[in-house]
Structure 1
Amino acid sequence: MALELYVHIPFCVKKCGYCDFVSAPAADAVQDAYVKALLQEIRSAGQKDQVSSIFIGGGTPSIIKAEHIEAILSCIRQEFAVEEDAEVTLEANPGTLTAEKLAVYRRAGINRLSIGLQSANDEELALLGRIHTFREFQESYRLAREAGFQNINVDLMAALPYQTEESFERSLRAVTELAPAPPEHISVYSLIIEEGTTFYEKYHSQAEAREAGSEDTAPLPTEEEERTMYRRTRELLEGCGYERYEISNYARPGFVCRHNVGYWTGVPYLGFGISSSSYIGGKRFSNGRSLKEYLTAMKEARPLETIRVDEEVVEEERAMEEFMFLGLRLMRGVSEKEFKRRFGRSMEEVYGTVLETMEKRGLMEMTAPATREKREERIDGDASQKDRLWRLTEEGIDVSNYVMAEFLL
């Protein structure tokens, strides 16, 4: 099975109020030193493994020099056997893209862009702390199309402070009407108030009140309003030719994000850069979060093990849990046949009681063979008449966190 690679670029123009990722502004000299360290880490880890996808995320990867992105991808291709048709994604923010950068990205082999819009409402963008307006996003999007990018994802956020169902729908429609052609992929995630962010200090008490059922929770949308936004997302995007293949992700035929599907289905991955995570050979580990320690370790050519934290061997029970709660994010569901192949035990033997309970409550269902075959052929070409798949119902999606927690052993 081929590896997936993730490269973390921890730099941004400024920190957004909701962001809990390891990212911060930095001078050019710091960015240059970090990329040099990244190249050292990649060379130390490379073993000519086959690679099916590469994802460069952050932070805002598009703020560093385009030549740095080119050098990173060149180094990866020297150290790994990157498949000819590998999916290579770069995250970018409006206001940081230029025609010159985009030309270098194309030359470097990037074939998929993921642009963080979040909202088409300028007031909502300002509240989030974004550095761009909707008009500036439109300009960045136009430049990407003119540069030849034919696989673009646009990120949107739901359940923002002061956001209404109407303003959210206007953002959705604005994305589906983008010129010269709508994006091939749209991701829609709800705002999560994370501890350690400025939004946590500002809104966490209101989030707690909402969870407790208080009616006085403005300016955050209510739980029912959030669910309505998600239902409307499905209705509107499916009406525009997008397929919902994962709880928060929609794609036109042929443009499912292969990197993300690999993550949800247990494909091994290797991360580079501070705070990046890896899952390979049955082990999971992360790099530390300190930029200073990372730069020092790479400069001194220390073994990669010295920068890794949170190392664990993923035991069988944990692997079964992840198979279920990650796989259930996909609309196709989880395969009984694949579960038996991986763990030597039937899904019924391990989770029979949970499956029966979830089905009786209308939160999960077994898919019909014809529907299942059509879906699997689109996503991974592995349809089987003998297999049975379990998936969330629409009601189950509404309470997906509860359903997935039921599969913890």
Structure 2
Amino acid sequence: MKKVALYIHIPFCKQKCLYCDFPSLAGKEDCMVDYAAALAKEIYSIKNKKIKTIFIGGGTPTYLSLAGWKIIKKSIDTLNICDDLEFTVEGNPGTFTKEILNFLKEMGVNRLSIGLQAWQDSLLKELGRIHTIEDFKQSFEMARELGFDNINVDLMFGLPSQTINQWTETLDNITKLNPEHLSCYSLIVEEGTEFYKRFEKGTLNLPDEEIDRTMYAKTIEVLRKKGYIQYEISNFSKRNKKCRHNLVYWELDEYIGCGAASHSYSDGFRYRNEENIEKYIEKMNNDNTAIVEKMKNSFKDNMEEFMFMGLRKTKGVNKSEFKKRFDKNMDDVYYDVINKYTSTGFMIESPDNIFLTYEGIEVSNVIMAEFLL
């Protein structure tokens, strides 16, 4: 039986953050139970697959009502899961309760991902976050007390008005709590967000590129000293605590997405679900499916994605895995681009792998674009 990862989308939020372009909505609490029932229907439909990781993301999954969670749990209980299942749920401070956390524990969740973003209340307010630093500390401690021993914390740098000292303070304080995993992303101002409107008006006070680069360098330096291993451009973990679910995406393995706006990659096809919550519920109730787009990935698509997703990992892309998947030597397809970047110090080629240097990571978007055929 084929092993796959499962992503489950919970689109509800207490309040939409000003930088967020994810498919999430505030003010839709009255849809929660109907949505959970439609979602459960989709989860029940998963057959002949063994689930190796589950990631419930959002939105803010911990904002979902307990009644909604109970419906979803029943469907998850029917899945054929691996013994070493990694089961992650995302949540934001201000939405954690003992009741919800105990329920997640009972459900088999063994990894939490907590959105903090910054250690300063002034920056959290500027981001449109619903919580304070104190809320985060209480949520983190509550999770530890209830036995969660694998916790990721999401952080962001390059924020409006953020200084290098504030970012260093964030890293210093979060590492004192010793989470097993940290995801550290540079802010990207996405179209359609409140931040984008301010950016267009010229009222978004972003740090310049040099400060952003310094913050990234500081991230690597501080986290290395604190015992974290960088295994992907933006992700750092303690030993044996990498996020196995995210590695599925970076290694172009198969995954199933359930819920509004979720994506799947299975048997060489990409699928996309209906994004609108009400329409998703309607489609699941009437048609037993919410897929609105299905596309066969071409041989070329797979090769390109395998390369530019794989180059996000610090160990890079494995040559023998490339040969196994595509029946071609990597050099026969990509010799020119590999030679270009190894000769300029942006990439290293070992007997087994090709991977980006620190300088290469800084311009990774440019380099990865050259792996498009």
Asked whether the two chains share a fold, i.e. TM above 0.5, the reply is yes
TM-score, normalised with respect to structure 2: 0.97
CA shift, 1:303, in A, is: 4.1
Q: Distance in 1 between matches of 2:207 and 2:182?
A: 22
CA contact (8 A) 1:243 1:252 kept: yes
Q: In the comparison of the two structures, how many residue pairs are matched?
A: 372
Identical-pair percentage = 44
Partner of 2:43: 42
Q: Distance in 1 between matches of 2:35 and 2:294?
A: 23
Partner of 1:294: 280
Which of 170, 191, 197 in structure 1 is aligned with 2:193?
197
Partner of 1:379: none
1:228 aligns with 2:229: no
CA contact (8 A) 1:155 1:188 kept: yes
Question: Secondary structure at the residue paired with 1:15?
Answer: coil
CA shift, 1:218, in A, is: 7.1
Q: CA offsets per residue over residues 308-334 of structure 1, 9 Å max, x none?
A: 234211101111100110000000110
**1:307-386 superposed matches below 5 A:** 307-367=290-350
Q: CA offsets per residue over residues 170-222 of structure 1, 9 Å max, x none?
A: 111110012xxx1000000011111011100002465xxxxxxxxxx972111
CA shift, 1:291, in A, is: 1.2
Letter of the aligned partner of 1:58 in structure 2?
A: G
Q: CA offsets per residue over residues 29-50 of structure 1, 9 Å max, x none?
A: 310110011111112x311311
Q: Distance in 2 between matches of 1:338 and 1:309?
A: 32
Question: Secondary structure at the residue paired with 1:74?
Answer: helix
CA contact (8 A) 1:17 1:128 kept: yes
Letter of the aligned partner of 1:74 in structure 2?
A: K
Letter of the aligned partner of 1:150 in structure 2?
A: D
Question: Secondary structure at the residue paired with 2:170?
Answer: helix
Partner of 1:213: none
Which of 396, 399, 403 in structure 1 is aligned with 2:363?
399
CA contact (8 A) 2:11 2:59 kept: yes
Partner of 1:210: none
Q: CA offsets per residue over residues 49-99 of structure 1, 9 Å max, x none?
A: 111000000000001124533442431231x31112100000000010011
Q: Distance in 1 between matches of 2:282 and 2:372?
A: 39
**1:180-195 superposed matches below 5 A:** 182-195=178-191
Q: Distance in 2 between matches of 1:158 and 1:263?
A: 23
1:127 aligns with 2:126: yes
Partner of 1:58: 58
Partner of 1:373: none
Partner of 2:5: 4
Gaps of 5+ in 2: none
Partner of 2:229: 243
**1:74-223 superposed matches below 5 A:** 74-78=74-78, 80-178=79-177, 182-204=178-200, 219-223=205-209
CA contact (8 A) 2:232 2:312 kept: yes
Q: Distance in 2 between matches of 1:103 and 1:303?
A: 31
Q: Distance in 1 between matches of 2:184 and 2:144?
A: 21
Question: Secondary structure at the residue paired with 1:2?
Answer: strand
Q: Distance in 1 between matches of 2:318 and 2:72?
A: 37
CA contact (8 A) 2:195 2:204 kept: no
